[in-house]
A and B are shown apart, each in its own frame.
Chain A
Amino acid sequence: MGEKVFMQGNAALAESAIRAGCRFFFGYPITPSSEVPEYYAEKAPQENLVFIQAETEVAAFNMLAGVAATGKRVMTATSGPGFSLGMEAVSYMAAAGLPAVIVDVMRPGPADGDILAAQGDYFQATKGGGHGDYNTLVLAPYSVQEMADLTMEAFDLAFKYRNPVIILSDAMLAKMRESLVLPERITPNEQYDWTITGPKGRKHNVITTCGDGPVQWENYNLALQKKFKEIAANEQRWESYQVDDAEIIIVAFGSVARIALGTIKKARAEGMKVGMIRPITLWPFPVQAFAGLDQQEFFVTELNAGQMVEDVKLSVKDKERVRFYGRMGGMIPTPDELYEKLCEYYRK
């Protein structure tokens, strides 16, 4: 365990990546993620980092692919508009088996939108925002501590499965300051048998996503699907709060989950049996968390027009028991506002 500090979310994420041995960062400034490249730029000389401010997000994401192909750890950070630009490269990295960490600090869309907190990139991140059949792990921190912890893990997971990993943050988490314990520094392994490093003492390696006829390309896809099924089976993560006796279960991730903790407190004080399931992996969606919860009502609340709610409906037996409340544009509900909604929906 490292030292206890008081830090901003973006900075904690960047510091954790450095401690995870991620020496390479390529990115394009975009609010609310710019503190991540700025942190890397400042620490570069003392930590021997390679920081390049790429000309576009398209370039940045493809630089990631290059470093990842050599077996070294690399990261980018962006927001919705830049995330969209990078989607072809995410499809490419998943198909090519290139491990990299991509941070999307969500802000309201669509298009340029605004710069406060939102969760409207859920579909894009979890359903594969790029083309073709592929998936990426999506991790959703809800505190500055998780910004650090999940970043550390993201690199391990990326290399475990040879796949890009997305960290889905938002403007509020990025900018808030909290106490946290920083992770300890590690020296990652960079030697793998599949990397592009020059064919010294081994047969040459090729990384390509260009299919050579339908038979070969279907087989390649079947192998990829096997990889994603393995991730889906082994990496579902969530946290449950007072679910055991709950009649109403809030389902929320990231910043909204924090707000919902206040809602649960108030609701319980008023005699409502409310709990929460907080997905930590948005892909694979933690369907296991919903097992056996056939009698409960599910209140899904997000900062979007209704995205994760679809996955909740797929995860429960009776989708009629799933209700949604969302805010958009950067508007953030208070714990009281969510409590009032619970009353409106469930108190007869």
Chain B
Amino acid sequence: MKVIYKRPQVLTDAYFKYCGGCGHGIVNKLIAEIIEEKNWLEKSIIIWPIGCSVYADQYFNTDSICALHGRAPAVGTGIKRALPENLVIVYQGDGDLVSEGISEIMHSAIRGEKFSVVFINNAIYGMTGGQMAPTTLLGQKTTTSPYGRSVEFSGSPVNMAELIANIPGCYYSERVAVNTPQNILATKKAIKKAFEYQMDGKGLSFVEVLSPCPTGWKLKPTKALEFLSTEMTKIYPLGVFKSPEVAK
């Protein structure tokens, strides 16, 4: 008998509080797998945001700190500058990274802070009950855009992976998604690369993950994946926007 897949030991036994079908669960799991495979547990520090993953410190055997809304990159700056040899993971959702904390993430990229950012883009504010995010699609209905997001009041969705890629201090920027098994594998590869670059002492590595929010979108999980596949990828194309190979 050979164990092909088993729950990563980097995860605690706690049950995830995420909704059924939530992308956070998939990405949390991938992060745990990578840390286990690379044997980085003793070096790992994860900075969690305010959002649905606010309690994720309960799910991991890494050291964790939960930052104020939007401030994870600033906390990460402090931690990585104090402990340059550690694996410092900044994990944020769209409210945290694109709205409240847009200054902190932009300036972390400007300074070329050497931590890895995992950005969960589900085009909505899940934890607080499904309000509009800066990443919400035009026409998408949320509790604060009940008639659909309009350009007049809310502008257009924000493409963070591209924005960050344009900053010289960003070493690596890629957008992936967790809507299919192949894409989940690609997500794992991207996050692993981001962590490897960090451990090699390179600048800010940024992975944006398109993720389903069944509860916020008011869709069954499998239907939510369809929305992600057909609608979100139109606005948020998957791909690498900055990579050391391209830079050369």
Quick one: which of B60, B75, B86, B87 contacts A65, CB cutoff 8 A? B75
B61 touching A67, Cβ below 8 Å: no
Set of chain B residues within 8 Å of A63, measured between Cβ atoms: 74-75, 77-78, 81
A70 touching B83, Cβ below 8 Å: yes
Quick one: which of A96, A198, A204, A210 contacts B86, CB cutoff 8 A? A198
- Kindly supply a per-residue 1/0 record for chain B positions 40-72, scoring 1 wherever the CB is within 8 Å of any chain A CB and 0 otherwise: 011111011010001101101111111110010
A65 touching B78, Cβ below 8 Å: yes
CA distance A50 to B65 in the complex (A): 22
A58 touching B107, Cβ below 8 Å: no
Given contacts A55-B103, A198-B42, contact A67 B81 (CB under 8 A): yes
CA distance A54 to B104 in the complex (A): 9
A206 touching B103, Cβ below 8 Å: no
Quick one: which of A60, A88, A204 contacts B64, CB cutoff 8 A? A204
Quick one: which of A62, A205, A208 contacts B78, CB cutoff 8 A? A62
Set of chain B residues within 8 Å of A54, measured between Cβ atoms: 74, 107
Quick one: which of A199, A200, A205, A208 contacts B66, CB cutoff 8 A? A208
Q: Which B79-134 residues have C-beta < 8 A from chain A? A: 79-83, 86-87, 103-104, 107, 110-111
A66 touching B63, Cβ below 8 Å: no
Q: Which A203-238 residues have C-beta < 8 A from chain B? A: 204-210, 212
Shortest CB-to-CB span from A330 to chain B, Å, is 31
A55 touching B107, Cβ below 8 Å: yes
Set of chain B residues within 8 Å of A198, measured between Cβ atoms: 42-45, 62-63, 83, 86-87
B63 touching A52, Cβ below 8 Å: no
Set of chain B residues within 8 Å of A70, measured between Cβ atoms: 78-79, 82-83
Shortest CB-to-CB span from A134 to chain B, Å, is 14
Instruction: Tell me, yes or no, whether A137 is within 8 Å of chain B by CB.
Output: no
A199 touching B41, Cβ below 8 Å: yes
Shortest CB-to-CB span from A127 to chain B, Å, is 20
Instruction: Tell me, yes or no, whether B76 is within 8 Å of chain A by CB.
Output: yes
Among B44, B45, B54, B75, find the residue whose CB has the most chain A CB atoms closer than 10 A: B75
B61 touching A66, Cβ below 8 Å: no
CA distance A92 to B78 in the complex (A): 15
Task: Report the nearest A residue to B87, measured CB to CB.
Answer: A198
B50 touching A210, Cβ below 8 Å: yes
CA distance A89 to B104 in the complex (A): 14
B63 touching A89, Cβ below 8 Å: no
CA distance A243 to B52 in the complex (A): 58
CA distance A70 to B76 in the complex (A): 11
A66 touching B86, Cβ below 8 Å: no
CA distance A68 to B67 in the complex (A): 13
Given contacts A74-B78, A198-B43, A200-B42, contact A206 B104 (CB under 8 A): no
Quick one: which of A64, A69, A200 contacts B65, CB cutoff 8 A? A69
Instruction: Tell me, yes or no, whether A293 is within 8 Å of chain B by CB.
Output: no
Among A63, A66, A68, A204, find the residue whose CB has the most chain B CB atoms closer than 10 A: A66
CA distance A119 to B66 in the complex (A): 34
Set of chain B residues within 8 Å of A196, measured between Cβ atoms: 45, 63-65, 79
Task: Report the nearest A residue to B43, measured CB to CB.
Answer: A198
A24 touching B81, Cβ below 8 Å: yes
Q: Which A45-81 residues have C-beta < 8 A from chain B? A: 50, 52, 54-56, 58-60, 62-70, 72, 74
Shortest CB-to-CB span from B164 to chain A, Å, is 15
B82 touching A72, Cβ below 8 Å: yes
B63 touching A210, Cβ below 8 Å: no
Given contacts A24-B78, A52-B77, A196-B63, contact A58 B71 (CB under 8 A): yes
A206 touching B65, Cβ below 8 Å: yes
Task: Report the nearest B residue to A66, measured CB to CB.
Answer: B78
CA distance A62 to B66 in the complex (A): 12
Shortest CB-to-CB span from B97 to chain A, Å, is 14
- Kindly supply a per-residue 1/0 record for chain A positions 72-100, scoring 1 wherever the CB is within 8 Å of any chain B CB and 0 otherwise: 10100000000000001100100010000
Quick one: which of B41, B45, B47, B64 contacts A197, CB cutoff 8 A? B45
Quick one: which of A55, A56, A199, A206 contacts B42, CB cutoff 8 A? A199
A-B pairs, top 5 by smallest CB distance, nearest first, are A66-B78, A62-B74, A208-B66, A62-B71, A66-B75
6 A-B contacts (beta carbon < 8 Å): A24-B81, A66-B80, A88-B68, A198-B43, A200-B43, A210-B54
Binding site for B on A (CB under 8 A): 24, 26, 50, 52, 54-56, 58-60, 62-70, 72, 74, 88-89, 92, 96, 196-201, 204-210, 212
Binding site for A on B (CB under 8 A): 41-45, 47-48, 50, 54-55, 57-58, 60-68, 71, 74-83, 86-87, 103-104, 107, 110-111
Given contacts A69-B78, A196-B64, A208-B48, 11 further A-B contacts (CB under 8 A): A24-B81, A52-B111, A59-B107, A62-B71, A70-B82, A198-B43, A198-B62, A206-B58, A207-B64, A208-B65, A210-B55
